[in-house]
Amino acid sequence: MSEHGDEIDIAAPNAGEHDPDVGLTTLPSGLRIVSQRMDHAATVSLGIWIGAGSRDEAPHEHGLAHLLEHMAFKGTARRNALEIAEEIESVGGDLNAATSVEYTCYTARVLGEDLELAVDILADILTSPALTEEELRREKGVILQEISAVQDTPDDLVYDRFLQAAFPDQPLGRPILGTAKTVKSFTPDAIRAYLARHYHAGNMVLAASGAVDHDDLVALAKRHLAALPTSPEAKPVREGGDYRGGEARIKSDEEQVHLVLGFPGQPFSKGAHYPLQIFSSVLGGGLSSRLFQEVREKRGLAYAVDAFHWPFSDCGVFGISAGTAPEDAAELIDVSLACLRQAAEDVSEAEVARARAQMKVGLLASLESPGGKLEQMARQVLIFGRAIRREELAARLDAVTLDDVRAAGRSLLGHQPTIAAVGPLKGLPLAKGLKYASRAAD
């Protein structure tokens, strides 16, 4: 499983209180353990997060982070692939994993009484994967099919091409799955080298939510994750992201053209992403958003239109996405840019309040389930070193002013837009021709 953009929690790196309802322990090895008990829950969701994803690969490793995620389940020194599946499913549990741009996670869900089994299995697949040639050969075939599936799914493919065009010739712009050529080239030794650089205790978080006792989880970590290396021989340096803008066009015989129009965004490391997250919601975050009302309700140009902001650790990207008839593509782009420019100038207090309320509900709803709480805690501790109190998250949203949101919208203007398109391309304007996206065109 892969994820295009990291869904970063609304948080900031500056000092603040750790959530007192959340247990947090750091072992001498550097491994951080975070958990929250939910008294109503009979199950526990748990996982191990690693602070490395697709942008942490060297050029010759393109796609290796995702391949490793697959190979972890294909056998260890103690279990073969079938035994891994049978042991977790015999207690009604399940395993999953995901590779993102900046992290990788391995997760499980079981009854509270089976927590130790789940920790044991997760620890086993991450500390002693077998990485046999036979399993690697088979899994390469599976991933090649996965790559082909994306090529056959235009509304997935367009996001890959969008990041490639926005961040050309950079790890951040490379598709998470890799290419057929790179995937075929990987060896067990290449995987082990990547493991040695990134899968060490100081770069990992063990998290659990639901029917869990924090002290028990810490004891299990000491027992089953003692074999984690404490640090790599040489600390990896992540290449920075540099938005440049451009275009990517893939002609196909689809009925629709799938479009993503983008601009540089903000990193989550400085807190400037809050106003831009709110602006993206005002522009295209719901049925009352400006894009939905103008593009769909008034003009009927698309069934669905969306605005998004993906903040990364050192940069970000803002986008508008839609699928439309080829003959309507130029008008849809014109209308979308006009909506963006207008919103940057006159977004109202009522719109900001509505967007803020939507974001709060989404945030709080995610915290009500063990799985949602698990993901938020793990990412926050991995990135910021603490679990953020929900009151603090709400306060940060409340602190964003109308002027902040307007300024965030205006910050998008004046940059070279990125256009990614998959489908019939006749009549689609060039990205370089969209100079009227700039305030200088007024």
**Active centre residues (catalytic):** 69
Q: Which ranges of 90-243 does DSSP label H, i.e. alpha helix? A: 115-127, 133-151, 154-166, 180-185, 188-198, 214-224
Q: What is the DSSP string of 366-404?
A: HTTSHHHHHHHHHHHHHHHSSPBPHHHHHHHHHT--HHH
Looking up tokens 């640090």 gives 231
- The arrangement of strands across the sheet holding 257-264 comes to 247-251, 418-423, 257-264, 316-324, 305-311
What is the rounded distance in angstroms from the CA atom of residue 324 to the CA atom of residue 317?
22
Separation of alpha carbons 99 and 4, rounded Å? 9
Considering Cα of 210, then 212, then 215, then 219, what sign does the dihedral take?
negative
Contact 288, 355 (CB under 8 A): no
Per-residue CA distances from 418 to 34, 77, 238 (Å): 39, 47, 24
In this structure, the number of other CB atoms found within 10 A of the CB of residue 173 comes to 25
Structure tokens at 242: 């540099």
Answer positive or negative: Cα dihedral of 336, 431, 406, 397: positive
- Whole-number Å distance between alpha carbons of 213 and 404: 42
| List of residues 6+ apart from 395 with CB closer than 8 A | none
How far apart are alpha carbons 327 and 340 in whole angstroms? 22
Q: First vs last Cα of the chain: how many Å apart?
A: 45
Q: Would you say 405 and 279 are in contact if contact means Cβ atoms under 8 Å apart? A: yes
Cβ contact 351:342 at 8 Å = no
